[in-house]
C-alpha cells in the first residue's frame, strides 16, 4: 500500500492520508482506520484516484458524511474515498438543480427553500450527503429522493461513468440499484423541483426539523435509523413495545427517545453496536415473529 499511497500523494488530487481513523468521519463516531483515505478536490481528480485504484486492483469504498454507516473497529482494507468539499458544487436553473454528491443534504434543502423551490422539505433534518441520500433513496415525512431525482451521475467500480435516469436507478424503499446490482459512487444529482411559496416551504422545513429534534437523539453520536421499517409495522414501535428502549451493551445504547436509534453513549465499539443489533433482532423475532433488517450499512474488516 505504501507504493499506492506515494502515487496518490504525488498526483496532488486532494487530501491523502494513511491509517486515517474513520471514527472521525462517521456520525456515530465509531470506526477503525482506512489503509488509505482520500478526499478528492474535484470530480476530475476523483477519476485520477480511480485510475490508480483500478491499475493496482485495490479494494475501495466511498463514503459521504458518514451517517447510516457502521464501520468495523478493525477498519477498512484498501482505499476509502470521501466525497466532501471538493465535490459539493451547486447550480440552480429555474426549478432544476444540479448538485455534487458531497453536498450536505440539510444545507441543500435550506439553500433552495430560500429560493422558493419545493420538493426537498422532507430532507431538512437528514444529516447525510446528497450522494448518500441518492444511493439509499433517503426519505422522511412521506417523501423520498425518488420523487424528485431526474438523473444521477455515477462512477462505477470499473472506473466508467454514466448518467442513470430515475427509472434506471431502480429505487425502492431505502434502496437503489447502486447497493447491490451496480455498485458505484454518486458524483452528481439532478433534481426537478417545483416553484412554491417561500414562507410556506420554510415553515414546513422548520416543522420537520423541530419534529426530529423532539423525537430523535441527535444530541448523541448515532448513525440514524438502524432498522428498516418491517411494513406495515414500524421498527421503533416494535422495539419500544418489546421494552428495549434504554437497553445497552458496552457503550452502545438503544435510545430512550426513539427505539430505532442506537447511540454511542460513551466509547462504544462497532462490536457493541452489532451485539445490540443482534439482540434486538432476536428479541423482536421471538416476540412477534418479525424479521428485522438493518438500514444502517455495516462495512469493514470482519
Query: Using 50, 70 and 90 to split pLDDT, how confident is the model at 93?
Result: very high
Q: What is the pLDDT of residues 36-58, one digit of tens each?
A: 999 999 999 999 999 999 999 99
Query: Using 50, 70 and 90 to split pLDDT, how confident is the model at 210?
Result: confident
Domains within the chain, CATH numbers bracketed: 2-85 (3.30.43.10), 88-215 (3.30.465.10), 235-299 (3.90.78.10)
Angle between helix 2-10 and helix 43-56 axes, rounded to 10 deg: 150
Q: What is the pLDDT of residues 142-179, one digit of tens each?
A: 899 999 999 999 998 788 899 999 999 999 988 999 98
Q: What is the pLDDT of residues 217-242, one digit of tens each?
A: 988 999 999 999 999 999 999 999 99
Q: Which residues are catalytic?
A: 174, 225, 295
Q: What is the pLDDT of residues 194-208, one digit of tens each?
A: 999 999 999 998 888
Give kind and range of the element (H or E) at residue 191.
strand 184-192
Proportion of the chain above pLDDT 90, given as a percent = 81
What is the DSSP code string of 197-213? -HHHHHHHHHHHHHHHH
- In the prediction, which pLDDT does 146 show? 97
- In the prediction, which pLDDT does 218 show? 81
Residue 263 near residue 250 (C-beta atoms within 8 A): no
Residue 103 scores a pLDDT above 90: yes
What is the DSSP code string of 135-186? HTT-EETTEEGGGTEEEEEEEETTS-EEEEETTTTT-BTTB-GGGTTS-EEE
Q: What is the pLDDT of residues 242-287, one digit of tens each?
A: 999 999 999 999 999 999 999 999 999 999 999 999 999 999 999 9
pTM of the model: 0.90
- In the prediction, which pLDDT does 212 show? 84
- In the prediction, which pLDDT does 284 show? 98
Amino acid at each position: 500500500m505504501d507504493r499506492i499511497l506515494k502515487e496518490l500523494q504525488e498526483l496532488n488530487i486532494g487530501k491523502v492520508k494513511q491509517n486515517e481513523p474513520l471514527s472521525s468521519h462517521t456520525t456515530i463516531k465509531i470506526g477503525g482506520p482506512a489503509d488509505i483515505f482520500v478526499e478528492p478536490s474535484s470530480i476530475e481528480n476523483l477519476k485520477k484516484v480511480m485510475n490508480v485504484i483500478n491499475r493496482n486492483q485495490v479494494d475501495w469504498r466511498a463514503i459521504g458524511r458518514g451517517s447510516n454507516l457502521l464501520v468495523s473497529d478493525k477498519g477498512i482494507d484498501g482505499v476509502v474515498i470521501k466525497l466532501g468539499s471538493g465535490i459539493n458544487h451547486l447550480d440552480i436553473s429555474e426549478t432544476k438543480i444540479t448538485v455534487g454528491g458531497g453536498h450536505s443534504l440539510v444545507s441543500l434543502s435550506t439553500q433552495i427553500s430560500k429560493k422558493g423551490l419545493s420538493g426537498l422539505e422532507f430532507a431538512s433534518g437528514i444529516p447525510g450527503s446528497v450522494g448518500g441520500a441518492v444511493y439509499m433513496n433517503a426519505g422522511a415525512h412521506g417523501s423520498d429522493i425518488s420523487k424528485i431525482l431526474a438523473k444521477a451521475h455515477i462512477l462505477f467500480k470499473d472506473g466508467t461513468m454514466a448518467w442513470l435516469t430515475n427509472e434506471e436507478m431502480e429505487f425502492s424503499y431505502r434502496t437503489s440499484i447502486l447497493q447491490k446490482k451496480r455498485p458505484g459512487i454518486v458524483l452528481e444529482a439532478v433534481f426537478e423541483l417545483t416553484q412554491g411559496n417561500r414562507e410556506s416551504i420554510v415553515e414546513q422545513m422548520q416543522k420537520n426539523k423541530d419534529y426530529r429534534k423532539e423525537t430523535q437523539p441527535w444530541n448523541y453520536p448515532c448513525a440514524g435509523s438502524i432498522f428498516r421499517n418491517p411494513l406495515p409495522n414500524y421498527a421503533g414501535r416494535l422495539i419500544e413495545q418489546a421494552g428495549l428502549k434504554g437497553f445497552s451493551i458496552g457503550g452502545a445504547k438503544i435510545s430512550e427517545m426513539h427505539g430505532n436509534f442506537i447511540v454511542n453513549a460513551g466509547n462504544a465499539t462497532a462490536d457493541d453496536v452489532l451485539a445490540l443489533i443482534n439482540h434486538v433482532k432476536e428479541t423482536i423475532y421471538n416476540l412477534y415473529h418479525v424479521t428485522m433488517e438493518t438500514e444502517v450499512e455495516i462495512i469493514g474488516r470482519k
